[in-house]
Amino acid sequence: MNFQLSEDHIAIQQAAREFAENEIAPSAVERDKTGEFPTEIIQKLGELGFMGMMVSPEWGGSGLDCVSYVLAMEEFSKVDASVGVVLSVNNSLVCWVIETFGTAEQKEKFLKPLASGKVIGAYCLSEPGVGSDATQQATTATLQPDGSYLMNGAKNWITNGTTATHYIVFAQSEPGKGHKGITAFIVDKGMPGFEIGHKEDKLGIRSSDTCSLGFTDVRIPADHVLGAVGQGFKIAMETLNGGRIGIASQALGIASGAFEKAVKYTFERHAFGKPINQLQAIQFKLADMQVKVEAARLLCLNAALKKDAHESYIKEAAMAKLYASTIANEVANQAVQVHGGYGYVREYLVERSIRDAKITEIYEGTSEIQHIVIARQLLKEYELQQG
């Protein structure tokens, strides 16, 4: 396993870093206050190829590997985790699923504009009464004589919910079959009966939009079925495996951004007649933070390398998300502590890292679910080894 970055990887990392510092950072504080969606930033990211990084150029993407994606996600999320999650959803949960399970016609119609950043997408699995147990989909899609479906129900906590053009929606199409009766659909904004709820007022990642969605007799054409009928739950779980790499990288970016701010501040702040980085108590904090950030980065890269090698990465992605989200909260908390009272005010920026970090332990599979995924995979691997 080689973690040495290639020249191409370094170039992508540098390009993402420069864009984050020059284009994202200037408006990040104000957007955090107002909750304004970063429309122009997302458009520019699309023009640069970051909205469909791993999609084949045949379908409007950049044709890059998952390692490149991890590197870019970290750099963007260092500066603004809201931009990071918009990027992650479009790349991991929307573009990937259409390229993997969609027909050629669906890729031409939906994937090309999504991968090129002309429009963005949303992934709709959670419901008001359905969180971690995604098998219990209450949204229904009833087959009609003409082959279309009538969709009824509601979805909750949908990232890009108000700004997306295309939505990957999971619904129960064959109620008697349980999770084997769930089907994935592509739903377009503007379809009659499809309503977008109010934007949630969130603790963190405030510049990204999160809302509920309602479906009342929304007629879904037969050619909007994604994958096979009844394959939806399998599609959802496979998609989330890759999505966890994106959120792990977002968490890594939050942690590394907070850490870098803390290190910088220790050179500026003096106490007892010297910079506070000369105090052992502060040095110990910085050392612990560095170890955690670097360990999270290696876990993210390991999962990405597994995915790029077309090997099973279920456990690795879950480990990366579990650890990176945990240390994002820990490192953000310690970065505020290093800043002392200044860390508690918005002027010094690190307080936002605490607010942004928390969600990474919740969405795309809570930390509790990651423990279950990891345990199941390691036990399965042990049984296989034992023959």
Q: Which residues are catalytic?
A: 364
Question: Quick check: 83 and 36 in contact, CB under 8 A?
Answer: no
Beta carbons within 10 angstroms of residue 82's beta carbon: 30
d(CA 79, CA 83): 9
Enclosing H/E stretch for 293? helix 280-308
Burial, 7: exposed, middle or buried (Cβ in 10 Å; 0-12, 13-18, 19+)? exposed
**Coil, helix or strand at residue 310:** coil
Residue 27 backbone dihedrals phi, psi, to 5 degrees: -110, 0
Within 125-265, strands assigned E span 140-143, 149-159, 166-172, 182-188, 194-199, 210-220, 225-226
Q: For residue 242, count other CB atoms closer than 10 A to its CB.
A: 25
Other beta carbons within 10 angstroms of residue 64's beta carbon come to 21
Name 320's Cβ contacts closer than 8 Å, sequence gap at least 6: 244, 245, 248, 296, 299, 300, 302, 303
Strands 166-172, 121-124: parallel, antiparallel or unpaired by DSSP? parallel
SS3 state of residue 221? coil
Positions of E strands within the chain: 121-124, 140-143, 149-159, 166-172, 182-188, 194-199, 210-220, 225-226, 270-271, 274-275
**DSSP 8-state assignment for residue 21:** I
